[in-house]
Amino acid sequence: MKTRVIDCIDKTNILDKLNDAGKILREGGLVVFPTETVYGLGANALDSEASKAIFAAKGRPVDNPLIVHIYSIEQLSEITNGINTIARKAMEAFWPGPLTLIMEKSQNVPDAVTAGLNTVGVRMPKNDVAIALLKAAGVPIAAPSANTSGKPSPTKAEHVIFDMDGKVDVILDGGPCDVGLESTILDTTSTPPTILRPGGVTLEMLRGVFRDVALDKGLLKKPDGDFKPKAPGMKYTHYSPDADVTVVEGRTEDVVEHIKERLLECSNKGIKAGVLATDETKGFYGENFIISVGSRENPITIAENLFDSLREFDKQSIQVVFAEAVANNGIGLAIMNRMNKAAGFKIEKV
Ligand code: TXA
Ligand code: MG
């Protein structure tokens, strides 16, 4: 398949470009589009065959359901079985934005999209190109992150091109994504509402709206035999670069000292090692390959750059990466969830 990359940063003739892409979606094709979280790999959510093509392009396990994207609340009547009080409150507070709501699905949504569940994840993105595409398509769009299954999610068009060239019809280049981590997933069918995946809408923000918010067990620990996460996707290896990642957790000074020792060990063994550091610590590691992922003072910068940084280590053929853990509150909960998963939960506490 020949993939067309369309520049949507330059807004000249943007509506014509998106009308084309909308038509491709209606005809069953695959269109990658930017959102404020990460790039999505979209197909018509009401078309079972088109949705199945998403799984093929990504190499995604078929038991992992897709999120359906909409541009207006009216579209919900087509895909859900009504809006309960929890869902209503959440959308009023956070849509459009990085929040996916798990709701009871209507029979119009094919099993391929929901992996046979009786619920559907729905989200209204906050990104001009995504909204314009949704309007041009006129149908709800099912879209997982546009990466090869298991790899870090794409936050720039170049990441998508690397993973999806030749596998999709169109890639819309909207520049780098703002949030950089996937949406928060909130199950609105449980009381209290439950966070199944932390993201840009934080636990603290949700607690500002709901008296009680639960966290799905094991968001920060490795899924084990008995434990079954409610978002099927959370059980899979995720966000993993080719490099072998280890998270180092503890007081910042101790973390730096520990990583320096581990770097020395690697260099003695002839292993090419790197550090996922922060603005505050990047100066401490000497001649090694260091990426500052952002500032501890301003963790949204870390969220924005995390996946790009993980991909960068692979580009430089780094074999082993030591990643500094950061504070676990606010957006930090989502950052650490992704970082721990990228490391396959290999965590050294110091
Ligand atoms: O920010 C995002 O959410 C991005 C952009 C493109 O919108 N999309 C995204 O999709 O991250 P994906 O497929 O990479 O992750 C979807 C997650 C998976 O863990 C999946 O298991 C969960 O959502 N999910 C989808 N539908 C669900 C449902 N009905 N019940 C529970 N979990 C669900
Ligand atoms: Mg994904």
Per-residue pLDDT 10s for the chain (350 aa) are: 999 999 999 998 999 999 999 999 999 999 999 999 999 999 999 999 999 999 999 999 999 999 999 999 999 999 999 999 999 999 999 999 999 999 999 999 999 999 999 999 999 999 999 999 999 999 999 999 999 999 999 999 999 999 999 999 999 999 999 999 999 999 999 999 999 999 999 999 999 999 999 999 867 667 766 667 788 887 777 888 999 999 999 999 999 999 999 999 999 999 999 999 999 999 999 888 999 999 999 999 999 999 999 999 999 999 999 999 999 999 999 999 999 999 999 999 99
Residues with CB under 6 A from ligand 1: 35, 37-38, 40, 64-67, 100, 102, 114, 117, 119-121, 123, 143-145, 182-183, 185, 196, 230-234
In whole angstroms, give the CA distance from residue 283 to residue 265: 19
**CA of residue 120 to ligand 1 center, whole Å:** 9
**Residue 221 has what pLDDT?**
67
Segments of the chain assigned E as strands = 4-7, 31-33, 40-44, 67-69, 99-104, 119-123, 141-142, 170-173, 184-187, 194-197, 214-215, 244-249, 273-277, 289-292, 320-324, 347-349
Q: Ligand 1, residue 119: give the atom nearest the CA.
A: 29
In whole angstroms, give the CA distance from residue 206 to residue 199: 11
Report which secondary-structure segment, H or E, holds 170: strand 170-173
319, 269 contact by CB (below 8 A):
no
Tokens representing residue 195 in the block:
């966070």
As residues whose CB is below 5 A from the ion ligand 2, the structure lists 145
DSSP conformation letters of 103-141: EEBPTTS-HHHHTT-SEEEEE----HHHHHHHHHH-S-E
Q: Ligand 1, residue 182: give the atom nearest the CA.
A: 1
Q: Compute CA distances 263 → 151, 165, 267, 289, 343, whole Å.
A: 25, 36, 6, 10, 17
Residues 6 or more apart whose Cβ sits within 8 Å of residue 277: 284, 285, 290, 291, 292, 293, 324
193, 210 contact by CB (below 8 A):
yes
**Residue 245 has what pLDDT?**
97
**Residue 287 has what pLDDT?**
83
Sign of CA dihedral 183, 184, 187, 193: negative
Site to substitute for ligand 1 among 67, 111, 338, most atoms within 8 A of C-beta: 67
Site to substitute for ligand 1 among 147, 185, 186, most atoms within 8 A of C-beta: 185
**CA of residue 213 to ligand 1 center, whole Å:** 19
80, 73 contact by CB (below 8 A):
no
In whole angstroms, give the CA distance from residue 16 to residue 60: 32
**Residue 225 has what pLDDT?**
63
183-241 per-position pLDDT tens digit: 999 999 999 999 999 999 999 999 999 999 999 986 766 776 666 778 888 777 788 89
In whole angstroms, give the CA distance from residue 222 to residue 305: 24
231, 195 contact by CB (below 8 A):
no
Q: How many alpha carbons fall within 13 Å on the CB side of residue 52?
A: 7
**Residue 230 has what pLDDT?**
84
Residues 6 or more apart whose Cβ sits within 8 Å of residue 298: none
Residue type for position 1: M
Q: Which residue has the tokens 């009308």?
A: 19
Q: Ligand 1, residue 146: give the atom nearest the CA.
A: 6
**Residue 228 has what pLDDT?**
73
Q: Minimal CA–CA distance to 18: which of 119, 141, 115, 110?
A: 141
In whole angstroms, give the CA distance from residue 78 to residue 122: 12
The structural domains of the chain, with segments of one domain joined by +, span 4-215, 244-349
**Residue 335 has what pLDDT?**
98
In whole angstroms, give the CA distance from residue 93 to residue 337: 24
**Residue 226 has what pLDDT?**
66
When computed from its CA atoms, the radius of gyration of the chain, rounded to whole angstroms, is 20
How many residues in the chain? Answer: 350
- Can you name the residues that pair with 69 across neighbouring β-strands? 123, 141
**Residue 219 has what pLDDT?**
77
Q: Which residue has the tokens 């922060």?
A: 278
Q: What is the CATH number of domain 4-215?
A: 3.90.870.10
- Of 2.40.160.40, 3.90.1300.10, 3.40.50.11030, 3.20.20.70, the CATH number of 244-349 is 3.40.50.11030
Q: Minimal CA–CA distance to 199: which of 86, 70, 336?
A: 336
Same fold for the pair 4-215 and 244-349: no
Q: Ligand 1, residue 147: give the atom nearest the CA.
A: 14
Q: Which residue has the tokens 């919900």?
A: 76
Sign of CA dihedral 106, 110, 116, 119: negative
Exposed e or buried b per residue across 306-345, where buried means at least 16 C-beta atoms within 10 angstroms of its C-beta: bbbbbbbbbeeebebbbbbbbeeebbbbbbbbbbbbbbbe
